[in-house]
Structure 1
């Protein structure tokens, strides 16, 4: 019998879709967004075994919802890629203290059948083919309770055959756990007038584009409004899909507050759809850009680091508003006060009182007003 002399090594990654980062150990997402994960290992030397057991054992934060139908396992030698049939592996949820386990009962039988090129007359094979496992989870509503640090971890280890005994199956061993992390953010909104009086009843919608065509759906939560990413309603991140039945407009409460939970990094546009009683609505959307700063070493995450400043180092947010006040067109860009620990950006939205016109942000308004004055003046002398 040829005794096994090498052991598999497992690598886990998360797919960050922002800034062309791709597969690494760190990501951030909206609530409701699909979060892609990947494991990679190699087929070990299985000579000396009659059968070989391999199982991927995964634990994920409760803010992540696993999609068992998304699991796919492929084996490749660089020339040929074989995707395992559903009958060739099992996915078991909530077993052994795990979120799930994806197990291959006899890896040796599959590899020897699909990659027989290295087989010799003694029934030995040249192994080392790559194994890749991919699957998805969804960032769920529980993420609203934990924006910012410490993030939402997902960790995996590999159980594998070793030390073959007389029946050629052997015992099993384990690789170390390998962990990745995801984050999400929030906006604490406050609606006031230009005399610092809080305003109740202002209504808002959030968009992912400057033209305000692609709404970021929100539903009412216990402490504010929770993002419903379009991945969850048949779309693709910020486009497509069906409007969910529980999607609502945001409304500032009696304290003037509205809170948005579960935002990704990037740019959003906040549009006031209805002003409080006695005020005219802000016509131009407020542009808000959220920018986290992560460690430059995105491939060496260690369990628990998300709670420290080693990974999510800083959080910045910028808001740009357009105003037409006192006959002048004014654009204001300001750095928002943020709290990286809670993943919070604080935004104050102001309605002006008195004779000042509300925000319009368009030079066309000046032209229209001037034209109106000319027309009105002409009428007086006719």
Structure 2
């Protein structure tokens, strides 16, 4: 998170109407001399400062401020910027006539901020969220409360308050920032089932992967005059953005026309930028959601295995309502989703489990079409090994597969078709999604699929057995002929002997 070193968020509120009374109080008459501001729901990292705008004498009933004069928090040469005649009482009456949280009062707060001196009447630094924080020792008068310059981190927004201090008071800082999340849907091609939006998915290389970016606007976005918002999205090298698939909506309203879309294919940087989501026609409201959806194609550069293909998004946003939303900007933390893909490795071996050359394989994936019928999608193999005996099918997701031997080594029997299922478990809801497990279940065939989650691989040997051996020339076949001939000769001899005896 980068440190925001920009202007302040200002706070000013009017409660009492200044009277023309000349009532004063003396010490010992029961009136307090100093007061305390308690900061409710204080946020860690904030330093709240109080600047005295006007001062005066507070009545014992704490209802009247008299003898009003300029406070230590206003530069003397800036008093005329607030009140042309430098009349502190007249300026107090002007402030008293403004309604709390009105646009007039907010505009006046900005004028006061530009007239502040370097004198801080009191401050408190907060190190823990919701801790009790107090600004003490404040004299009666009107105060502007602001965040100290440079005290905020990148994902914070400046506070917006209006307050007059004439007694012990509790304030609740009105500050809020947007949030963003990125999601992906997962589809099983074999079953045709698609999940809801989640934090990880697996796909085949060549598939179009659907992504969703959701920005939830702050609860005080309407306090800004304009509000800048940019989705800063980073794809992995294994994904190619498809611009024609983009939709941008505010609820049911199509607001794509208000966003400038920019994509750098080299860096894989994708941005959706709107200079002012409050402009006419867009008119975003407090707490609403802006949803961007698009698709990206998983390409041949996709990382296979548990490292996966991470994709991140963050928001850049206006964070100072007191400046109208212009200039100062904050940045949310990144949100990450991951797309996984796997591979199947076939090792061709003979009856001795030694590498065997001369085979060819084709892998088919079972895919359900629009009519609910299963069709075969052919997947090409990359062949390697000393004897061209290793067949690698890369870029696969979960589903049912059939491996066919389409060419058999000479003298060997063709292997039966092998059917198996790839199964994977990965994080559905997680700030750091990961591949939990990878397995392959045999349906038919003589295989054992060994998983390697890190490499994203399922490996198995496929064995070919030799065919029946035919007799060679001059071998057993000729011996059999000789034996038959000998039997015939002997048989003929017996017949001749028999005939002679009969004579």
Query: Do both proteins adopt the same fold according to a TM-score greater than 0.5, normalized to the shorter chain?
Result: yes
The yes-or-no answer on 1:17 pairing with 2:187 is: yes
Using the size of structure 1 for normalisation, the TM-score is 0.68
Aligned equivalent of 1:108: 278
Aligned equivalent of 2:258: 88
1:209 Cα deviation from its structure 2 partner:
2.6
Could you report, residue by residue, the CA deviation over 1:242-276 in whole angstroms, capped at 9, with x for unpaired residues? xxxxxxxx798714111111110121111112212
The yes-or-no answer on 1:344 pairing with 2:474 is: no
Identify the structure with bigger relative contact order (alpha carbons < 8 Å, sequence gap 6+). Answer: 1
Aligned equivalent of 2:297: 138
Aligned equivalent of 1:128: 287
1:97 Cα deviation from its structure 2 partner:
6.8
Q: Larger Rg: 1 or 2?
A: 2
1:51 Cα deviation from its structure 2 partner:
2.2
What is the correspondence of 1:162-181 to structure 2 with a 5 Å cutoff? 162-166=319-323, 169-181=326-338
For residue 69 of structure 1, the aligned residue among 222, 244, 247 is 244
1:17 Cα deviation from its structure 2 partner:
1.6
Alignment partners' CA distance in 1, 2:317 and 2:277:
10
Aligned equivalent of 1:316: 439
Output the aligned Cα RMSD: 2.9
Structure-2 change in CA distance of 1:29 and 1:10 (3 Å)? same
3-state secondary structure, aligned to 1:56: strand
3-state secondary structure, aligned to 2:376: coil
Cα contact 1:48–1:168 (8 A) shared by 2: no
3-state secondary structure, aligned to 1:293: strand
1:319 Cα deviation from its structure 2 partner:
2.8
1:57 Cα deviation from its structure 2 partner:
0.2
For residue 267 of structure 1, the aligned residue among 388, 391, 400 is 400
Cα contact 1:164–1:170 (8 A) shared by 2: no
For residue 43 of structure 1, the aligned residue among 211, 217, 226 is 217
Alignment partners' CA distance in 2, 1:213 and 1:25:
29
3-state secondary structure, aligned to 1:24: coil
What is the correspondence of 1:1-382 to structure 2 with a 5 Å cutoff? 1=103, 2=106, 3=160, 5-18=175-188, 20-44=194-218, 45-76=220-251, 81-85=252-256, 87-94=257-264, 99-110=269-280, 113=281, 127-143=286-302, 146-166=303-323, 169-209=326-366, 213-218=375-380, 225=382, 254-282=387-415, 284-295=416-427, 298-302=428-432, 311-322=434-445, 332=446, 335-355=448-468
Cα contact 1:191–1:252 (8 A) shared by 2: no
Alignment partners' CA distance in 2, 1:209 and 1:99:
35
Cα contact 1:201–1:252 (8 A) shared by 2: no
Could you report, residue by residue, the CA deviation over 1:170-218 in whole angstroms, capped at 9, with x for unpaired residues? 4211111101111111111111222324222212222123999522343
1:36 Cα deviation from its structure 2 partner:
1.1
Cα contact 2:226–2:325 (8 A) shared by 1: yes
Alignment partners' CA distance in 2, 1:263 and 1:32:
10
1:126 Cα deviation from its structure 2 partner:
5.1
Could you report, residue by residue, the CA deviation over 1:270-301 in whole angstroms, capped at 9, with x for unpaired residues? 1112212233433x421121112335xx2123
Structure-2 change in CA distance of 1:98 and 1:281 (3 Å)? closer
3-state secondary structure, aligned to 2:321: coil
1:15 Cα deviation from its structure 2 partner:
0.9
The runs of 5 or more residues in structure 2 that have no matched partner are 1-102, 107-159, 161-173, 368-372, 470-503
1:168 Cα deviation from its structure 2 partner:
5.2
Cα contact 2:184–2:211 (8 A) shared by 1: yes
1:105 Cα deviation from its structure 2 partner:
2.0
1:98 Cα deviation from its structure 2 partner:
6.3
Alignment partners' CA distance in 1, 2:237 and 2:207:
15
Structure-2 change in CA distance of 1:95 and 1:17 (3 Å)? closer
Alignment partners' CA distance in 2, 1:257 and 1:340:
20
Alignment partners' CA distance in 2, 1:168 and 1:291:
49
Cα contact 2:304–2:395 (8 A) shared by 1: yes
Q: How many residues align?
A: 289
The runs of 5 or more residues in structure 1 that have no matched partner are 116-124, 219-223, 226-249, 306-310, 323-331, 357-382
1:114 Cα deviation from its structure 2 partner:
5.5
